[in-house]
Amino acid sequence: MRKLTLLLAAALIALLAVPVFADVPTAKAAYGTPVVDGVMDDIWKTAEVNKVDKLKDGKDAGVTAVWRGLWDEKAFYVYVEVKDTDHKFDGDVSWGDGAEFYFDPLDTDVKEYTTDEVAYFGFKANDVKNTSFDGTDAAKKALQNCYKLASVVTDTGFVYEASFALSSFNAGVKMKAGTVIGFDVQVNNQNAPGGSRTGAYGWSDAGNAAWQNPSVFGKVSFEKAAVIETATAAAAAASPAAAAPQTFDIIALPLAAAVLSGAIILKKKK
């Protein structure tokens, strides 16, 4: 009987230990520093790919999108690729083809935008200076002053690359491995005349609630730089142009790029 009581108590503790955010997605941001220009750096290839595929508003028009995250001691970086062949930018900022970035960098899970720890903004893909921020006055100003954003419009879609100096947004944010932030991406699509949004897709938020409720954001953890323990890889990365078989160069060059960017730390075997 005592054993059963103990088992029941353990089951109850396990249940209570399940975090309240269990239903929001989690993502990993790899370590490294890209150039914010809308062009994919090699370092982005080391980052996890996350789908922005929850239709949160309006109708699905076949638009698809993915995002990746990186971090370093200065900033959190985001790279979003959108496939959307019908470009329209009419009406309000949130109605035209574009995107929105949501932040809860201290992972507070608050349920409204009444604290300075949370804020978000949106923009149209063809004019990233045409923005719309929301949050407290202090939070909006802090977010406005901490980011860089580039957009590239092609026939087949849009690319957004951005940096967010989150410790300047809020001094309490620790830019180090193990940090977890609240974050979400929304992709807006317009493909009909009239200046209205056709539909919107979210990474985490599936109910068009993120603009009112930061607790629906997903979670992003800052991962440690990968460590590869090999003596030969270290030698190859230090001198990628050294005479070596061609097949080896194919591996050595991206490896060297990743090492230089900080995503991979080569450690000589002892």
Least distance in Å: CB of 198 to Ca ion? 7
| Cβ–Cβ < 8 Å for 162, 185 | no
Does 97 contact Ca ion by CB under 5 A?
A: yes
Shortest CB 66 distance to Ca ion, Å = 16
DSSP 84-133: -SS----SSTTTSSEEEEEEETT----SSS-STT-EEEEEETTEEEEEEE
Q: Which is nearer to Ca ion, 86 or 229 (CB)?
A: 86
Q: Can residue 60 be called a binding residue for Ca ion (CB under 5 A)?
A: no
Structure tokens at 228: 């590869």
Residue 11 binding Ca ion, by CB under 5 A: no
If binding is defined by CB under 5 A, does position 39 make contact with Ca ion? yes
Rule CB under 5 A: choose which of 163, 170, 179, 189 binds Ca ion: 189
For residue 21, the one-letter residue type is F
Asked if residue 34 binds Ca ion (CB under 5 A), the reply is yes
Cβ(134)–Cβ(113) under 8 Å?
yes
Q: Is residue 57 near Ca ion by the rule CB under 5 A?
A: no
The least CB distance from residue 6 to Ca ion, in Å, is: 55
Q: How far apart are CA 228 and CA 236, in angstroms?
A: 13
Given 57, 72, 81, 84, the residue binding Ca ion (CB under 5 A): 84
- Contacts of residue 160, Cβ cutoff 8 Å, sequence gap at least 6: 38, 78, 79, 80, 82, 99, 125, 128, 149, 150, 151
Task: Say whether residue 186 binds Ca ion (CB under 5 A).
Answer: no
- β-partners of residue 199 are 58, 189
Strand 26-31 to strand 64-71: parallel, antiparallel, or no bridges (unpaired)?
A: parallel
Residue 4 C-beta: closest distance to Ca ion, Å: 59
Residue 191 binding Ca ion, by CB under 5 A: yes
Q: From the list 29, 41, 211, 259, which residue makes contact with Ca ion (rule: CB under 5 A)?
A: 41
37 counts as binding Ca ion under rule CB under 5 A: yes
Q: Which residues bind Ca ion (CB under 5 A)?
A: 34-35, 37, 39, 41, 84, 86, 97, 189, 191
